[in-house]
Structure 1
Amino acid sequence: MINLIRGMVNKFHLVLHFSLLLFHSCYAIDNSSTITPTQTITDSQTLTSFGRVFTLGFFSPPNSTHRYVGIWYEFDPRRTIVWVANRDNPLKDSSGTLRIAGDGNLVISDGRGVVFWTTNLSSIATPNNSVAELLDTGNLVFRRVNDDSRVVWQSFDHPTHTLIPGMKIGGSRVTGEKIELTSWKSESDPSTGIFTAGLELLDDNNNPQLVVQRNGSKFRLWRSGPWNNVVFIGIAEMSSAEAFYLIHEDENMYITFKDTYVRNARFVLDHHGAFLGKQWDLDPQPNDWYEFWSSQSHTCDTYGLCGPFGSCIPSDSPICSCLPGFRPKFEGEWRKGNWSGGCVRITELECQNSSSDTDDGFIKLGSMKVPDYASLSFAIETEVCEMICLKNCLCLAYSYDSGIGCMTWGESLVDMQNFTRSGKDLYVRLARSDIDLALKNNTDPALKDNTDTAPKKNQDTAPKHNTSHGLSKNARLEILIIAVLLGTLAISICTKLFWKWLAKQRGKVASSVQEETPDDPDQVKVFKFQELATATNNFRAANMLGQGGFGQVYK
């Protein structure tokens, strides 16, 4: 009996020992930020960053039984997901594990050992010396043990549908490789959706724009307008996104954001194609995410809503109108609210009419979201940009920004909007008759800055900033020739006066040194030998001051 009791006690101690080991193992994982080659995260375990900001683990979306490995905010009880590892290959049950495999890769596998996701690194020099760590930034990094700088893989290089501070989207100029956001298919399906948000380079310059479009197509939903080194100029009230900044790394260019402007913020591309800025409400109630910015805050934000040469005005009804000098291409459809056909010119440009003796002009539209597909060129001021466009008959419009330079357009002007504030001045090329008509009517809010260029009695009827463009071509040529001649004459006169002044200054210096020869300041005094002998007492040694490389010197 005693032996039986002793045996039961020993078994109890053994079970207790293994239970404590198992508990310690689970506790160590749930309170650790790293995974080593000897550790495994099971479906019920999580990994938490050192500062308890983010958590990594298995989850199921709403109304779904599929299992994914994702990263979410530790403070959010709803587990808002910011990154998904196996988004296109979910597990069907809870047998999954996350571990460092024998080949050195970080893998997700099921109970049968089938791999559902891997970091897919071709070669790991020392697989047993690797560690995966979840940082307080939300970045899952795969690196060497005791060497934070040797990161071989990181989740920030493989974003899903959310952009968090420090994460970047962009790409390579050379390889064309892109890092972009891709929407979920639905709220309950994190697999690759049909919308992407990425960075588009313009003319190989350093002024990209953000673009939301259908995955694998050129169908656009929204764009930010070009980056001018401070803001995206196509976003109204850009202060809501001032946290963005550009990163250059060799031939790569990325955009990212820091949450110094908006704390606990994230940008997410939802399954409808809307790019949203959200912030965690720190008040006790409601303790939830609220939307502080949206790419689709108004119908006018829809890409190309008003068609070519049409502009969207949020405060108007209807919201679409043709640019000054243009009319709807399809009048019937336009009246029905189908504006996709856009607008066409009332009068063809004079530049394209070889028999015309006059030039076109430009009409200024203020506070505009500039059109898409701009060509960029260097210019230091608006006037230079104007001349660049004017000398090119195919140039339809121009705009200038000090952080971008000259923007010109040679094709249809699409995706324009009239902002209440912000925006840029857009100068649209028109025939002179259409400029006169537009300024006479002056009902377009974008024309508010042209009020001082309205036609005046006995004056040229072209806008004030375009009066030179209304002169005949022969007259402009004559003015150019006269200007060149006058300039040449002025330069010649200035050059002659300068040399005369310079010669006079030299004369003053010479006369102060050799006052005994005022009539010829450039002539060196010549002494006779007898004069020198008398002055030095026949070159006596007592009169010698010294001796150098050029001979003896006497006083």
Structure 2
Amino acid sequence: MDLQVVPQAVSSSLPPKECYIITKNTQITEGKMRMGASRLLLFLFYAMLTHLVKLAFAQRDPYVLHDCSNTGNVSSNSAYRKNVNTLLSSLSSNTQIDYGFYNFSAGENSDRVNAVALCRADLTPTDCQSCVNMSAYELLHLCPNQKGGIMWYMNCTVRYSNNSIFGVMQFEPVKQLYNTENVRGPNGTFVQVRETLLDRLRSEAAASASTLRKFATGNASSPYFDIYALLQCTPDLNQQECSDCLNQSIAEVPTCCGLAIGVRVLTPSCNLRYEAEPFYGSTLEAPPPSSSTLPSPAEGKASNSSQTIIIVMAAVVSMVLIFCICICIYLRMRKQRKKVERMDEIDSVESLQFDFSTIRVATDNFSDVNKLGEGGFGIVYKGKFPNGQKIAVKRLSRSSEQGDQEFKNEILLVARLEHRNLVRLLGFCFEGNERLLVYELMPNSSLDHFIFDPSKRLHLDWKIRYKIIIGIARGLQYLHEDSQLRIIHRDLKTSNVLLDEQMNPKISDFGMARLFTLDQTQANTRRIVGTYGYMAPEYAMHGHFSVKSDVFSYGVLVLEIVCGQKNDSFENGENTENLLSHAWKNWREGTALNLIDSTLRVGSMTEIMRCIHIGLLCVQENIAERPTMSSILLMLNSYSMALSIPSRPAFLMHSIVESDMSSNQSFQASQNEASMTDPYPR
């Protein structure tokens, strides 16, 4: 059985508050019933394990409550919201939190944000940081546009506001949690003992000698019940403010919760909790009970200990038995599931197969009028299906260097991928000697047709170029980290970046892509494929490739987009040099402005220089120093993120590659125009 928090209405005559009752729920949702047999068994095992642990160690604090301010909203891209994101994201990494309290501000004037985090006083620094981190993360998502918010997350509280909250006692909003089970024994005795204990702890917490922690714990007993309580204020309050906050919290108890055996009162500046059993850690020394309380009988304590031992033993035995059963069923079904998955994969690929006659009609029998381009792997034609859909058809030549394996590679990989920055495969045809790939048609050609053309380059202002840089990064991050597969493209270049109607980039051509397992970081190959000027040196010379190989290619792309020049044919006066060496030379001499395309008359100089910086970080000779694509996206989207100083790039020239090719390696390289032709119209 799972415990559930259910909202309970309160009197309309009181200030706005929320009261929650703890109830029991034994239903299994319809979604869980639809799971496969093995998953259902694992779920039942987990549910029983959780239930047994709850029985053995009754923790009544698994609830998360929050409140978003109604004082006004802000946009998600505003300076205020960026300050909120920065501030809350830095809470868990700040060492000030080691004593359980953190307060900090970010921004100026109307964009200033104040934040406070408070942990329960018995938490270790590690547990405190973990709790605050989770609270801040959920608060960012639950209050996405509000100017203020507060999260009571298990054993800690996180809040932020555009108002000053340091040293200010705030009682609203207030929330209560209570157990539906009432105390046993004389009601009058329970109320008297409870009030005496809470009032004593209020005085102790408010008058705490420690400036870092204002809290108090204690217990009281009678022949019928025990009470364990913890009261705490934020340490930025003075004695009177802490006492007033806790007084108001104590006054809430009889109003909301009656004779409940467990109660929590949560406010922004203080909190109160009492239970029938100990709940705070051993690091806190509870003060001795007052003389007004009565001793607890020894028989009850012994009985509780025996019951706990029995429950723990039953839990262990049940866990072992259920675990063994689940393992046996899982192993038995695993082989059958793999067969089903393989059949599903074949069916999904076959569902994309077109008849050769259909494609022949769509391209007007592969008419030269519909010819879009020709490369090392064949010819690309534009076409149109009877329903009006425009397509690009890649017809691989019989002498194409792309064999059956590369063809199947592209089908299996691209058919599984779905991202707005990846070209979409519509289908394929494999009939006789004909091998055809059918893609969505990209109306604006490929990036190289714009960026390297002196006249067309004028249409690429900085706003469009920056959008292309970010879009390519998102597509690569999806391939490397976010898709179900980990894919290394191995042939990323300007001609393999297509542009749609809105000039959004889409990565294409997966014939040379390699699939990695999720925990695999690099691989070797004796057949090196790719394009001069974009290949990472460790791949071109030794056949070592990884996600950092694609990062190198991405860095070359970024520098080409900013400079408007090809990497392998950059002209500098009378000398011809590699673009990377030219960029590195200007960066070291402090003349990086010389790298910017002269046609870029308008644009954010900060963004342009930051992109040059990121491009140089991507093409560093040391593989370990190159950033990952997720880090690159953070650099592009957050100007507050400091960038490291780039080290020497890898000046990879044709002669170096050719001289280092060993005789037992097969090297397949092409210039920009000699690789797989992309599906785009001229």
Q: Does TM, scored on the shorter chain, surpass 0.5?
A: no
Tell me which interval the TM-score lies in, with the shorter structure as reference length. under 0.3
Greater strand proportion: 1
Larger Rg: 1
TM-score normalised per structure 2: 0.16
Greater helix proportion: 2
TM-score normalised per structure 1: 0.18
